[in-house]
A = this chain, B = another copy of it.
Amino acid sequence: MLARPLPDYLVRRYHGWKATSYAENRSWYRRLAEEGQRPRAMVISCCDSRVHVTSIFGADQGEFFIHRNIANLVPPYEPDGNQHGTSAAVEYAVTTLRVAHLIIMGHSACGGVRGCYDMCEGNAPALEDKTSFVGRWMDLLRPGYADLPEGDEATRVAALEKAAVMTSLGNLMTFPFVKSAVEAEELTLHGCWNDISTGGLEVLDAETGVFHPV
């Protein structure tokens, strides 16, 4: 096992945080530690460094249970005894924490979605390789490619980003504990898409399948 000391610039910033944000909220952090978290919502967003849902939604420590993976994808329910990190996160949020909202947050310029698009267009042989973890992960989105509208590439890629959100929402309902929580009105699902460049936020209207700016 290899590990190195933390870079200085991060240590310095940490000390700054400790002396300011932490100090102003010490009592809240203590209580969160003692009584446990009780987040109102789970958010599944991309690992992308440009997407910070806590900033966008003004959330602080304790508010959101956040899972981040490539392209904010949820796989279908598959209780085969293997490791499913995303499914574990969803299970914990819904059955243990009993979050009231589950928000899938897609975004523009998503590298994972772009990779899926390129695979489907036949332009990404490396991603097709069985050993490509990104390729196999993005296979989850392949069905979304079939339904893309005609149009220029930018339009089709943005549509595939939104299809990723819809795919995740669809797959979520294959989990028995999600389905039953939704049907019992203990959980609501939400789909969003963030335009990094313009700061725009669009929300899915499930009746029409269209994302509308808020």
Chain A positions within 8 Å of B, measured between CB atoms, are 1-40, 42, 47-52, 54-70, 73, 75, 79, 81-93, 96, 98, 100-101, 103, 108-109, 111-112, 130-134, 136-140, 166, 169-170, 173, 181-182, 185-192, 195-197, 199, 201, 203-206, 209, 214
In the bound complex, do residue A185 and residue B26 qualify as a contact, i.e. CB atoms below 8 Å apart? yes
Chain B residue at minimal CB-CB distance from A171: B1
CB distance from A155 to the nearest CB of B (A): 16
Known: A83-B140, A89-B69. A16 touches B20 (CB 8 A): yes
In the bound complex, do residue A50 and residue B24 qualify as a contact, i.e. CB atoms below 8 Å apart? no
**Interface residue from B35, B62, B98, B103 paired with A6 (Cβ < 8 Å):** B103
In the bound complex, do residue B55 and residue A49 qualify as a contact, i.e. CB atoms below 8 Å apart? no
For A170, list chain B residues within 8 Å (CB).
1
